[in-house]
Chains A and B, each alone.
Chain A
Amino acid sequence: MKKSDKKKSDKKNKLYLSDKQPLSTVGKLMLFLSYIVLFAWALIILLPLADMVVSAFNGRQEQYIMLNDNFQFSLKHFDYLFNETLYLSWVKNTLFIAIMTAVITLIIVSFTGFAYSRYRFKGRKASLMAIMLIQTIPTFAGITAYFTMHSVISSIAPFFTRQMMLILIYAGGGIASNTFILKGYIDSISTELDDAARIDGCSSMQVYRLIIMPIAKPMLAIIALWSFIGPFMDYLLPRVLLTNPESYTLAAGLFTLINDFRTMNQPAFAAGGLLTAIPIVALFIVLQKQLVSGLSQGSVKG
């Protein structure tokens, strides 16, 4: 009795449940090889990150980061970062630029995406094409124009700083590409909803605000996140446009810690890089619910 029971459970364990055909020897070998490649790839990405985290907390590291086994936990690099450099004002600048960029992009993109999706007007196709084609020119190509524009505007309105110019450049670039994404998303929302809302008593503005925007929330969250991350990642434009270290963004500011031997402090750079992730992670957590549904929906709809 017992024996047969055991046999049964053995049989149960051996049941082949996968829908795929069992692997042959060659298949198993290939699988092993692919795992090796994947692990190597993961290591290439993770090792520098790990090294950054370790170095940031390692009191034994001096001006240059050395790869060795000496480790002593200390926060002195963070201390240096906050007290000896302009780190806090860089954070402030970056957050200001990032938040403004995200807000401006969101507001304008939500309008343009809605208009392109729901209204038929003259030049609709042509302007969409134009937006797409202009995308192919790198932002940096317009650098001289940006300088001129800034000097023209700031001569009329002196409060218009270089940082605001930067915000306009980021937001302008974001609006173009994100309009496409949002238009596609809103296209997938049935126009019968608009009709129903109109009969229920909505004006066009109310259809946008009360019906379409809440439904498009996942996509708006993704757009917000992307445009928020942009200024954290970009080095070139702030480096060229911003001339005063006080007004640097994080990327430009932190770079002064590794490219100039007078201000060189590599562990502090690592510490600064680590802290940079905090606002992005925070925003990610706030938007997490929207992002997950947005990403999965986006993947289904291609």
Chain B
Amino acid sequence: MNVVLKNIGKKYEGREEFTLKDINLEIADKDFCVILGPSGCGKTTLLRMIAGLNSITEGDLLFDKKRMNKVPSKDRDIAMVFQSYALYPHMTVYDNMAFSLSMRKERKKVIDERVMEAAELLQIKEYLYSKPSDISGGQRQRVALGRAMVRKPSVFLMDEPLSNLDAKLREHMRVELVRLHKALGTTSIYVTHDQTEAMTMATKIVLMNDGKIQQAGKPDEFYNRPENIFVAKFIGSPTMNIIEGIIKEGKFVADHGLIEITPSPNDALKLKPFEGKLVSVGIRPERFESGGEFGDTFSATVDVVEMLGKEKILYARLDNGSELVISTPGHFEYAVDEVHSFGFDVGAIHFFDTVTGLRIN
């Protein structure tokens, strides 16, 4: 089922300002759409509006071109997985999974078949008759997924379902969820604040901040072509380096004057209208080079070295004290207090308009 949001806005009772405003979004059938954003950006509100748990103040919510604004949750053909799993503590795992079907007066035999099928897929057959309090967090997570699955809904909604799991289990469940989505093919909307989850699972990412959509698109677009400085800084770990400066005679010169960058011919064309204007350069930590195509190098002192095994993260200081984060392969030798000169991979430089924050190239 495809889900379309048209100019959706939300204002809570007793609040002065709109929490969400002018949200336009189209989620295609069988998409795995991840809504990503820092806490308080309104992503959970948006999900709850799609679920029908919060009312929609303005705009239209369309499921397959049908307006859903006033349809109660239970008739929207959706299923939701909550952050706290929200398993009914007084029912067994089996009853938890069967509950939604029995509320719909489904026949006992059909219910049993569906529950068993889901239990099989999620490998939770052994504890179908335990209470939720007797099973571990990872198992509860599976039960919550199973409860959503048995209904065979047209849309899956998930509100940070992995945030209560430990790191190892989260990694495992991430893969499992992708596999599940592949097997079921249900349109899924997944809310998270974790960019790793978004990048690894999504077919489409929607990044939100301050109640607005910052960028929507495929994961690799987010990494390689961020639309504005917020997106550039939010996606990627360690964070992208942002250097503020000015365009002078077709060249980028940093405010502190220690860094000069000659843009590639393509970028130079796009930068022409910005001659003499404030521009920010973004460069990912792994896109520094020792030489540099146009010989634009700068020297910096290595301040701290973080050894992660496959890579080393260098926190390097320029002469005026400003910091850059540089990532190098783990087998390269760097020591604290050494001075090195670095260059840029010119093809991987992002130019942003400092005033509006928007991407230039």
Q: How far is the CA of A174 from the CA of B207 in the complex (A)?
A: 53
Chain A residues near B78 (CB-CB < 8 A): 199
The interface size of chain A toward B, counting residues with CB under 8 Å, comes to: 17
Are A201 and B103 closer than 8 Å at their CB atoms? yes
CB distance from B163 to the nearest CB of A (A): 13
CB distance from B118 to the nearest CB of A (A): 14
- At the interface, yes or no: A88 with Cβ under 8 Å from chain B? no
Interchain Cβ contacts within 8 Å, total number: 55
- At the interface, yes or no: A200 with Cβ under 8 Å from chain B? yes
Chain B residues near A214 (CB-CB < 8 A): 90
Are B74 and A202 closer than 8 Å at their CB atoms? yes
How many chain B residues sit at the interface, stated as a range, is 20 to 34
- Given known pairs A214-B90, A215-B89, the reply for A199 and B84 (CB within 8 Å) is no
Are A211 and B103 closer than 8 Å at their CB atoms? no
Q: Closest A residue to B81 by CB, please name it.
A: A196
- At the interface, yes or no: B361 with Cβ under 8 Å from chain A? no
Are B84 and A190 closer than 8 Å at their CB atoms? yes
Chain B residues near A193 (CB-CB < 8 A): 86, 88
CB distance from B153 to the nearest CB of A (A): 9
Are A199 and B79 closer than 8 Å at their CB atoms? yes
Q: Closest B residue to A206 by CB, please name it.
A: B103
- At the interface, yes or no: A69 with Cβ under 8 Å from chain B? no
CB distance from B74 to the nearest CB of A (A): 4
CB distance from A235 to the nearest CB of B (A): 39
Partner of A195, one of B72, B82, B151: B82
Are A192 and B103 closer than 8 Å at their CB atoms? no
Q: Closest A residue to B75 by CB, please name it.
A: A201
Interchain Cβ contacts under 8 Å between A and B, 29 examples: A120-B13, A190-B86, A192-B83, A192-B84, A192-B86, A193-B86, A193-B88, A195-B53, A195-B73, A195-B82, A195-B86, A196-B80, A196-B86, A198-B72, A198-B73, A198-B74, A199-B73, A199-B74, A199-B79, A199-B80, A200-B74, A200-B151, A201-B103, A201-B104, A202-B74, A202-B103, A211-B88, A215-B90, A217-B90
Q: A190-B86, A198-B73, A201-B74 are in contact. List 5 more A-B contacts (CB 8 A).
A: A195-B48, A198-B53, A199-B73, A214-B90, A215-B88
Task: Name B residues whose Cβ lies closer than 8 Å to a Cβ of A.
Answer: 13, 48, 51-53, 72-74, 78-80, 82-84, 86, 88-90, 99-100, 103-104, 147, 151
